[in-house]
Amino acid sequence: MSLIKLAPLALAIAALPAFAGTPINETRALAADGSVSIENIKGRIIVRTWAQPQVRITGSLGKGAEKLEVDGDGRDLSIEVKYPDHKGNWSWNRNDFEPTTLEITVPQKASLDIESVAADVDVQQMAGRKLDVSSVSGNVVVTASSPGQATVENVSGDITLRITTDSVDVENVSGDINIQGGLSGRVSVETVSGNATVLAKTLSKLQFSSVSGDADLQAALATNGVVTSETVSGTLRLGLPKATSAQLSIETFSGDINSPVGKVDREEYGPGKSLNARLGQGQGKIRLESFSGNVNVELK
């Protein structure tokens, strides 16, 4: 189910009151490194882990939901809150939709694929090969986890990740993004109007793009590592260790450039500023571009 198709539904049900629902209590067998997909329209998705080769599903099914559908086998399990389609007209009886809370316990090394509309997502202590989360208006929080790779997409909710991994892809529209933990390898962040914070260890690749959101990026750069950033009106702050080795290139149209190294050159005719400098031996590459936002580089 695409985020674009789900967005109108999020607006329709966001203001509905919460009521107690039908209790859920089911258990399914799953391999220690199996996969679990979870889909819930409204409410909460809470995922915890344990050492058992099983998936336990508890919580409450909200009024208006047709049923909880659990399909699959011991390698791949699907958990979905089903609603009456009524020929695809989601506005039908929309006042009957009440929040469903799914509390799911999975093997710690299981992979997760989670989809929600107006449901908050809370994941703790997962260490599976892959973590995928797609949301429209709910907040996404993943803590104390170490997925092999993580992908999180959201529209209007905040994204908070406290994870250890070497591959992260995050996209958001208006919510804030906060990523930190044992990050290494590659981190990619895209946002429109939300602010972003990335606190990483040593990265081989850091990509960031924003329209109006501010960004605070702090990381060490691996040998021959690459940092690229494009912003329109947001302020960009990049913090690096003093021992960083890279070629530094910064360009702005009307924003200011602040850097402890290099000289800011101004265009002879019209707006535009640039800076080119070498940090250390110049092994890596750092390229920062902004239209009207300021770019600040700090060496610590």
pLDDT tens, residue by residue, 64-121: 899 999 999 999 999 999 988 755 554 544 456 799 999 999 999 999 999 999 999 9
CA distances 297 to 120, 237, 271, 285, Å, are 35, 6, 21, 14
Determine the length of the chain.
Answer: 300
37-44 mean pLDDT = 96
pLDDT beyond 90 at 10: no
Give residue 173's Cα distance to chain centre: 11
Number of other residues whose CB lies within 10 A of the CB of residue 230: 17
Beta strands in 7-72 (DSSP E): 22-29, 35-50, 54-61, 67-72
| CA–CA separation, 286 and 252 (whole Å) | 14
pLDDT of residue 17: 38
Token match 């994870």: residue?
163
pLDDT beyond 90 at 23: yes
pLDDT beyond 50 at 35: yes
pLDDT bracket for residue 58 (50, 70, 90)? very high
pLDDT beyond 80 at 7: no
Contacts of 108 (CB under 8 A, 6+ apart): 32, 49, 50, 51, 125, 126, 127, 128
Write down the mean pLDDT value for the chain. 91
pLDDT beyond 50 at 243: yes
pLDDT beyond 60 at 253: yes
pTM comes to 0.89
| DSSP one-letter code for 116 | E
| CA–CA separation, 150 and 252 (whole Å) | 32
